[in-house]
Amino acid sequence: MPVGEQLRARANKFLRRYYALQDGSEGEPAKHGSRFMSVIRDGNRIKFSGPYRDADLHHPLACIHHAVHENGYQDLIIDFSECTETYPGPMLALCAELLRLRSVKVDAQLVLPKKPELARLFSNANWANLIEPRKFEPSKFRGHTQIPATQFSDPTEQNDAVNRIVNAILGGIPDIRRENFAALEWAVNELTDNVIVHSESPIGGLVQVSSFQRSTKVVEFTIADAGLGIPTTLRSGASFKGSDTDALDSAIREGVTRDKSVGQGNGLYGSYQICCHSGGAFQIESGHARLLFRPGDYGLEIRDQKVPVHGTLVIAKINFSDPDLLKEALNFSGKSYTPVDYIETKYEGIGTDVLHVRLKDEAKSFGSRVAGTPVHHKLHNLVKMCPGQPIEIDFDMVPLVSSSFADEVFGKLFVKLGPLEFMQRIRFKNVEHTVRMLIDKAISQRVTTGLGI
Ligand SMILES: Nc1ncnc2c1ncn2[C@@H]1O[C@H](COP(=O)(O)OP(=O)(O)OP(=O)(O)O)[C@@H](O)[C@H]1O
Ligand SMILES: [Mg+2]
């Protein structure tokens, strides 16, 4: 074995023993080049160093458990100062646990990472606010590639959260197919619905979405709750009596539900199918078990966990790179299923094939290119997703738009679609004279310069 690997193996062994001595759990230190994730408890301080990733989420939960339940601390210090990277999965598992503890009067203070971009992520993703709301404001992040972690406690909040997510995706991811969009919406809906219907979580649920567009186009959504957990609810039904690992294994199968009068057992099965078919990934952490699907040779693995997750965490990754992969993903009782989607409920009218877009609802301002980008993506997506259907854009209560907004939305759309398709598909309603002139001018200037990309 090369010397570097020998050293790493020895360090790993040492860290595992160290964790075991710390709080009786076998921590799995993550490798990060030559750096390890380490979480150390010193009294009421839980200190994170290095990367904190999807595979590392149990050890901090064990440290918190020991601090609160065995040492009686009522005020924790969650110290991320030396943390170098982290992700929504482990962060939402941590946030859900800290929110649950706050509901029983155990408080937490947050020390932000020293690394400036990571500290910014803690604010933008809303983790800082969830951990210490007295000190950190709710996230004001309005970008379209990330939707900050949102808490939902009842069906109305759940519905609002899902709509905000799908709306942001429609405006944030260019060239998305309607089947794929509908599949994503369906899965987010099902997984958040499970929190409301089954979990009995005292804090409701948390949901966060991020999209990445490097070599592949991937949307990751993470849902966490601090409720009973999948093994417990499944065992509450008459038909299942197995272990925690058996419970996760069963939960992703078609027709498995704790109670046939409540559900049909489609939600986890369908969400898992969507992620697998697309070449994405799927992870469930609940009770003493982890279920992990990764594409390629890894496949599906389900294993016991010494440290339990009190509640349920689902990390779902859908890969949109190959638009055809999702065609057959939703299949119930042998029949292909097409879910109703946001486009149908929000934009399609009854008895007409015209899509209605109220511009007033689509942007917070009409003065900048940045405000126009998601509107552009959304209109372009709608044109492509709904072939042959005209799109009527209603300017009611939009008395003015800036030239840069007009160019970003309509100038660039005109060039992308070409004059004939633009004129056939895009209709304007209630447009003030000045706005009409600005749009005309933006289009003719853009035609002369082209897209410039
Ligand atoms: N967040 C959760 N907390 C606790 N238990 C859960 C959670 N999510 C799923 N479960 C358990 O897993 C089972 C399977 O979930 P799944 O979504 O596949 O089916 P269902 O919700 O019962 O039915 P359907 O989704 O068709 O309405 C549930 O019946 C429940 O016992
Ligand atoms: Mg369900």
Q: Are 401 and 433 in contact (CB under 8 A)?
A: no
Cα distance between the two ends of the chain: 50
Nearest ligand to the CA of 309 is 1
Nearest ligand to the CA of 270 is 1
- Give the chain's domains with CATH numbers: 1-138 (3.30.750.24), 142-340 (3.30.565.10), 347-449 (no CATH)
> 415 is written with which tokens?
């060039």
As a whole number of angstroms, the distance between CA 369 and CA 382 comes to 20
Q: Are 220 and 212 in contact (CB under 8 A)?
A: yes
Q: Which amino acid is at 106?
A: V
300 C-beta neighbours (distance < 10 Å), count: 13
- Confidence bin at 48 (pLDDT 50/70/90): very high
Cβ-based neighbours of 122, under 8 Å, separated by 6 or more:
80, 110, 112, 113, 128, 136
As a whole number of angstroms, the distance between CA 25 and CA 28 comes to 9
Q: Which residues line ligand 1 (CB under 6 A)?
A: 190, 194-195, 197-199, 225, 227-230, 233-234, 251, 256-258, 263-269, 312
CA atoms within 13 A on the CB side of 135: 12
> 350 is written with which tokens?
């009854």
Residue nearest to atom 3 of ligand 1 (CA): 199
Encode pLDDT of 289-322 as tens digits: 999 999 888 899 999 999 999 999 999 999 887 7
Encode pLDDT of 252-278 as tens digits: 998 888 888 777 889 999 999 999 988
- Confidence bin at 16 (pLDDT 50/70/90): very low
Nearest residue to 307 (alpha-carbon basis) of 97, 151, 102, 77: 97
- Does 3 score more than 60 pLDDT? no
Looking at residue 6, its pLDDT comes to 58
As a whole number of angstroms, the distance between CA 280 and CA 289 comes to 21
Cβ-based neighbours of 346, under 8 Å, separated by 6 or more:
none
Nearest ligand to the CA of 239 is 1
- Indicate the pTM of the whole model: 0.85
Encode pLDDT of 4-15 as tens digits: 555 555 545 544
Site to probe by mutation for ligand 1, drawn from 189, 194, 262, 285 as the one with most ligand atoms within 8 Å of Cβ, is 194
Looking at residue 15, its pLDDT comes to 45
Residues listed for the chain: 453
Looking at residue 132, its pLDDT comes to 97
CA of 233 to the centre of ligand 1 (A): 8
> 305 is written with which tokens?
């966990």
More confident site: 215 or 387: 387
Looking at residue 33, its pLDDT comes to 43
Q: What is the separation of C-alpha 149 from the centre of its chain, rounded to a whole number of angstroms?
A: 8
Residues, CB within 5 angstroms of ligand 2 (ion): 194, 263, 267
As a whole number of angstroms, the distance between CA 370 and CA 440 comes to 20
Looking at residue 34, its pLDDT comes to 38
As a whole number of angstroms, the distance between CA 301 and CA 288 comes to 14
- Does 116 score more than 80 pLDDT? yes
- Does 19 score more than 60 pLDDT? no
Instruction: Sort residue 204 into left (φ over 0), alpha (ψ -120 to 50) or beta.
Output: left
CA of 258 to the centre of ligand 1 (A): 7
Looking at residue 265, its pLDDT comes to 87
Nearest residue to 151 (alpha-carbon basis) of 122, 118, 124, 129: 129
- Average pLDDT, rounded, for the chain: 88
CA of 189 to the centre of ligand 2 (A): 9
